[in-house]
Amino acid sequence: MGQQLLGGLRVLELARVLAGPWIGQTLADLGADVVKVESPSGDETRGWGPPFADDGAAAYFHACNRGKRSLTLDFADPDDRALARQLASQADVVVENFKLGGLVKHGLDYASVAATNPGVVYASITGFGQDGPLAPRAGYDFIIQAMGGIMDLTGEPDGEPQKPGVAHADLFTGLYGTIGVLAALQARAQTGKGQWIDLALFDTQLAALANQATNHLIGGVVPRRMGNAHPNIVPYQVFEASDGPLVIACGNDGQFARLCEELGLTLHRDPRLMRNRDRLQHRDEVAGAISARTAGMTRAAVLVAMERAGVPAGPINTVAEAFAEPQAVARGMVETAGASRSPRLPLRFSDANTLPSGPPPRLGEHDAAIRAALASGDGWPERH
Structure confidence by residue, pLDDT tens digits, 302-314? 999 999 999 999 9
Among 107-111, 210-214, 260-264, 353-357, the minimum mean pLDDT is found in 353-357
Residue 106 lies inside a defined structural domain of this protein: yes
Last residue of a domain, one of 321, 344, 364: 321
Among 77-91, 175-189, 367-381, the minimum mean pLDDT is found in 367-381
* Residues 90 and 148 reside in one and the same domain: yes
Check residue 139 and give its pLDDT: 87
* Residues 39 and 148 reside in one and the same domain: yes
What's the pLDDT band for 354 if we cut at 50, 70, 90?
confident
What is the mean pLDDT of the segment spanning 326-342? 90
* pLDDT of 118 above 90: yes
CATH of the domain at 247: 3.30.1540.10
Indicate the average pLDDT of the chain: 94
What is the mean pLDDT of the segment spanning 13-25? 97
Residue 112 lies inside a defined structural domain of this protein: yes
What is the mean pLDDT of the segment spanning 362-373? 93
Q: Give the domain extent around 95.
A: 10-209+335-376
Cα 206 to Cα 63: distance, rounded to the nearest angstrom: 25
* Residues 174 and 71 reside in one and the same domain: yes
* Residues 342 and 317 reside in one and the same domain: no
Cα 215 to Cα 223: distance, rounded to the nearest angstrom: 7
* Residues 163 and 308 reside in one and the same domain: no
* Residues 166 and 309 reside in one and the same domain: no
Cα 259 to Cα 233: distance, rounded to the nearest angstrom: 14
Taking alpha carbons only, the member of 345, 372, 370, 374 closest to residue 357 is 345
* pLDDT of 70 above 90: yes
* Residues 146 and 67 reside in one and the same domain: yes
* Residues 302 and 371 reside in one and the same domain: no
Residue 381 lies inside a defined structural domain of this protein: no
What is the mean pLDDT of the segment spanning 353-359? 79
* Residues 202 and 105 reside in one and the same domain: yes
**Number of structural domains, the chain?**
2
What is the mean pLDDT of the segment spanning 32-49? 96
What's the pLDDT band for 367 if we cut at 50, 70, 90?
very high
Last residue of a domain, one of 321, 347, 365: 321
**231 preceded by cis ω (within 30°)?**
no
Residue 384 lies inside a defined structural domain of this protein: no
Residue 259 lies inside a defined structural domain of this protein: yes
CA–CA distance from 163 to each of 27, 45, 283 (Å)?
28, 20, 25
Residue 218 lies inside a defined structural domain of this protein: no
Asked if 203 is an active-site residue, the reply is no
* pLDDT of 292 above 70: yes
What's the pLDDT band for 255 if we cut at 50, 70, 90?
very high
* Residues 33 and 177 reside in one and the same domain: yes
What's the pLDDT band for 291 if we cut at 50, 70, 90?
very high
Coil, strand or helix: which one is 127?
coil
* Whole-prediction pTM: 0.92
Q: 283 and 229 in contact (C-beta within 8 Å)?
A: yes
CATH of the domain at 139: 3.40.50.10540
Check residue 1 and give its pLDDT: 55
Residue 221 lies inside a defined structural domain of this protein: no
Coil, strand or helix: which one is 163?
coil
Check residue 140 and give its pLDDT: 92
* pLDDT of 239 above 70: yes
* Residues 156 and 22 reside in one and the same domain: yes
Cα 80 to Cα 89: distance, rounded to the nearest angstrom: 14
Check residue 145 and give its pLDDT: 96
Coil, strand or helix: which one is 32?
coil
Which of these is catalytic: 80, 92, 141, 170? 170
Q: 313 and 246 in contact (C-beta within 8 Å)?
A: yes
Residue 92 lies inside a defined structural domain of this protein: yes
* Residues 50 and 195 reside in one and the same domain: yes
Check residue 376 and give its pLDDT: 87
Cα 212 to Cα 224: distance, rounded to the nearest angstrom: 9
CB atoms within 10 A of CB 136: 12
Taking alpha carbons only, the member of 281, 309, 277 closest to residue 293 is 309
